[in-house]
């Protein structure tokens, strides 16, 4: 790929991001600003828009959001549910779960969606959930969330259920061979693990900081 193609790809990403940001709800804009002010980086607007659309594409009625201070992703999924179904947010961080609970408290009188926010480690919480009860799972945040959730996904997901992993390129770290940070190393191993996993069909997209969409076979 030559320099012109690189430039065009960058412009394409910027155009898509600006377009998605312009379409965000006021609630998403406010949540993003609040989270980033608190020092919690959020997913891109285009990625949030795609997550919301994934709820519609899969016809999901029961969604799990696994993350670490992943407020924009959680709210995007809630908006995708459109006053129906249930959303379970799982966050092992005290800061993240407090912020998510605040969002849920603010919106509980405005939505018919059943909301549940759980402060727990995914390795402890996910094994307690009923099998085949969930249509869509979205994973983000700490490196420990990814493989642990993938291991539980075949049991938790309904037939042809989907699981989405965001920030799989570790904010660009995976692209840098010299980067040996915890998240980058974990994402390299995770991508290899998922590619070898015969229980899912998956694809890697460049949305945001990298997104993998996988469907249960």
Residue with tokens 């920030």: 167
Residue with tokens 């998605």: 20
For the chain, the residue count is 217
Distance CA 164, CA 156 (A): 14
Q: Is the CB of residue 174 less than 8 Å from the CB of residue 151?
A: no
| Residue range 97-113: mean pLDDT, rounded | 94
pLDDT band at residue 8 under the 50/70/90 scheme: confident
Distance CA 124, CA 141 (A): 17
**3-216 — its CATH code?**
3.40.50.150
* Per-residue pLDDT reduced to its tens digit, 13-47: 899 999 999 999 999 999 999 999 999 999 999 99
pLDDT of residue 174: 94
Domain parsing of the chain, residue ranges: 3-216
- Crossing angle of helices 94-107 and 26-37, rounded to 10°: 160
* Per-residue pLDDT reduced to its tens digit, 148-189: 999 999 999 999 999 999 999 998 899 999 999 999 999 999
Q: Is the CB of residue 199 less than 8 Å from the CB of residue 182?
A: no
pLDDT band at residue 1 under the 50/70/90 scheme: low
- The two tokens of residue 106 are 């603010």
Between 3 and 68, name the one with better pLDDT. 68
Residue 44: how many other CB atoms lie within 10 Å: 20
Q: Is the CB of residue 112 less than 8 Å from the CB of residue 84?
A: yes
């Amino acid at each position: 790929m030559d320099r012109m193609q690189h430039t065009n790809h960058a412009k394409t990403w910027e155009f898509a991001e600006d377009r998605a940001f312009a379409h965000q709800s006021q609630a998403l804009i406010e949540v993003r600003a609040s989270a980033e002010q608190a020092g919690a980086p959020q997913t891109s607007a285009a990625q949030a828009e795609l997550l919301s659309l994934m709820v519609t594409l899969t016809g999901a009625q029961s969604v799990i959001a696994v993350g670490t201070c992943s407020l924009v992703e959680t709210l995007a999924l809630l908006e995708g549910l459109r006053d129906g179904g249930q959303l379970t947010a799982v966050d092992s961080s005290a800061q993240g779960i407090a912020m998510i609970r605040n969002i849920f408290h603010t919106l509980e009188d405005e939505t018919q969606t059943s909301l549940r926010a759980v402060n727990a480690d995914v390795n402890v919480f996910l094994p307690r959930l009923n099998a085949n009860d969930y249509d869509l799972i979205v994973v983000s945040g700490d490196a420990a969330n990814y493989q642990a959730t993938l291991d539980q996904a075949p049991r938790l997901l309904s037939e042809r259920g989907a699981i989405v992993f965001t920030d799989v390129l570790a904010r660009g770290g995976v692209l840098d061979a010299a980067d040996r940070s915890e998240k980058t190393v974990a994402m390299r191993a995770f991508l290899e693990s998922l590619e070898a996993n015969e229980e899912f069909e998956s694809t890697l997209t460049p949305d945001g900081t990298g997104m993998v969409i996988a469907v249960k076979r």
